[in-house]
Amino acid sequence: MPPSFEVSRRSLKWRETRHLLLTTAPGALWIVIFLVLPSLYLVSMAFMTNGPYGQPGMPLSLDAFRQLAGFGFLGWSPGNLYTLLRSIWQTIVATGLVVVLSYPIAYYITTCRASLRPIMLLAVVVPSWTNQVIRTFGWMNLLAPETPLSDAAQFLGLIPEHMGLFPSSFAVTLGLVYNFLPFMVLPLYAAFEKLDTTLIEAAIDLYASPMRAFWAAVFPQTLPGLLAGVVLVAVPAFGMYVVPELLGGGRSMMIGNLVAGQFTGASNWPYGAAAALLMLAATLIGIFLLRRLGKRAGGGEEVVI
């Protein structure tokens, strides 16, 4: 092989490396500065001790985790455990309701005339263009005492007299469903748009009732969209701060409020960091379970989330 060729090959390789560095470096740098380093900082913070004036410092200890597990000056209390379980429960209920509401909406949009569909999708998305805090304040007004909704609930005996529908767990669920509906409708719509309707016809032709045809032909086809939607809804809902803060009151606090509280009023950063790590762990476990579920329901096929 002539030496000149060897040289050009080497320079070619160097050029490839340089291109690779130039194209990926900004993104990699971004991730390192804004994800890796803060995460490491958060992890180390969780093992620090809270100082008398709320400043984190040495020595390293497990105090924050002990506190998180519910051990305080007055012995063990289940408060944090309740908050975690409540967050999980709220997430499951809200996501479930969002799924049930989104299926008919997404399907209905695909049955509309092609010219109407972008408008309908826009109608689903437009509310989320307003600030979340403002929208949640809107719900506070709607659900407050002596509003038509609260009066109706009182009349039906659902809530005691002179009370509003907020603050309550119900209001939090409502707020979560309202906020995250578009994130489920859009991926489901994308799945419905690609739906092979002959599979539905085949199922009905093979004696499936409409309900069973849905499970046999529609559900498996929309599963990737559904799972994408579940992740888009459940992960932010689990860490939600604004909605439970404004609509929940003290007894409907979620884990996001617990974390936020430690970094603001309570000024216990290590405790807050530990709670944030717990939240992260719970989210990762949730996604892992979802993937396994998706794989089983999808007939062994890997579902990318």
Partner 1 sequence: MTNALATDDAGRPAPSITLEGLEKSFSRDVIALDGVDLTIRAGEFFTLLGPSGCGKTTLLRILAGLDTANKGVVRIGGHDVTEVPPHKRSVNTVFQSYALFPHLNVEDNIAFGLKMQGVEKDDRQRRVREMAEFIKLTPLLGRRIDQLSGGQRQRIALARALVCEPNVLLLDEPLSALDAGLRGQLQVELQRIQRRLGMTFVFVTHDQQEAMVMSDRIAVLNNGKIQHLGTPREIFERPANTFVARFMGHDNLFDITSREGDLLDTPLGRLTVDTRTHGDKVLIRPETIELGEDAETDANYFTAVVRESFYRGSYIEYRLDVGEVSLRALSSNQGQKLHKNGERVPISICPEDIVTVTDGE
Q: Which is nearer to partner 1, 165 or 213 (CB)?
A: 213
Q: Which is nearer to partner 1, 278 or 303 (CB)?
A: 303
Q: Determine if 125 is a binding residue for partner 1 (CB under 8 A).
A: no
Instruction: Tell me the window of 8-16, 151-159, 164-172, 211-219 that interacts with partner 1 (CB under 8 A).
Output: 211-219
Q: Determine if 265 is a binding residue for partner 1 (CB under 8 A).
A: no
Tell me which of 27, 52, 160, 300 binds partner 1, using CB under 8 A: 300
Tell me which of 88, 120, 190, 204 binds partner 1, using CB under 8 A: 204
Q: Determine if 6 is a binding residue for partner 1 (CB under 8 A).
A: no
Least distance between partner 1 and beta carbon 219 (Å): 9
Look up residue 240 and give its two tokens: 């939600």
Q: Which is nearer to partner 1, 1 or 211 (CB)?
A: 211
Least distance between partner 1 and beta carbon 201 (Å): 5
- Using CB atoms within 10 Å of the CB of residue 3, give its burial: 0 to 12 exposed, 13 to 18 middle, 19+ buried: exposed
Q: Which is nearer to partner 1, 105 or 217 (CB)?
A: 217
Q: Determine if 206 is a binding residue for partner 1 (CB under 8 A).
A: yes
Tell me which of 78, 161, 299, 304 binds partner 1, using CB under 8 A: 299
Site string for partner 1, 164-203 (x = CB under 8 A): --------------------------------x-xx-xxx
Look up residue 155 and give its two tokens: 């009349």
Least distance between partner 1 and beta carbon 195 (Å): 12
- Using CB atoms within 10 Å of the CB of residue 122, give its burial: 0 to 12 exposed, 13 to 18 middle, 19+ buried: exposed
DSSP E strands in the chain: the ranges are 49-50, 56-57, 71-72, 75-76
Q: Which is nearer to partner 1, 131 or 198 (CB)?
A: 198
Look up residue 49 and give its two tokens: 């001790």
Q: Determine if 207 is a binding residue for partner 1 (CB under 8 A).
A: yes
Distance CA 249, CA 150 (A): 17
Least distance between partner 1 and beta carbon 187 (Å): 18
Instruction: Extract long-range pairs of 117-124: CB within 8 Å, 24+ residues apart.
Output: 121/185, 121/186, 121/189, 124/181, 124/182, 124/185, 124/186
Distance CA 187, CA 185 (A): 6
Q: Which is nearer to partner 1, 68 or 217 (CB)?
A: 217
Q: Which is nearer to partner 1, 203 or 227 (CB)?
A: 203
CA distances from 298 to 130, 131, 185, 197, 242 (A): 36, 37, 20, 18, 35
Least distance between partner 1 and beta carbon 213 (Å): 8
Q: Do residues 246 and 140 make contact, with C-beta atoms less than 8 angstroms apart? A: yes
Q: Do residues 106 and 188 make contact, with C-beta atoms less than 8 angstroms apart? A: yes
Distance CA 117, CA 126 (A): 14
Instruction: Extract long-range pairs of 10-15: CB within 8 Å, 24+ residues apart.
Output: none
Interface residues toward partner 1, by CB under 8 A: 196, 198-199, 201-210, 212-213, 216-217, 220, 297-301
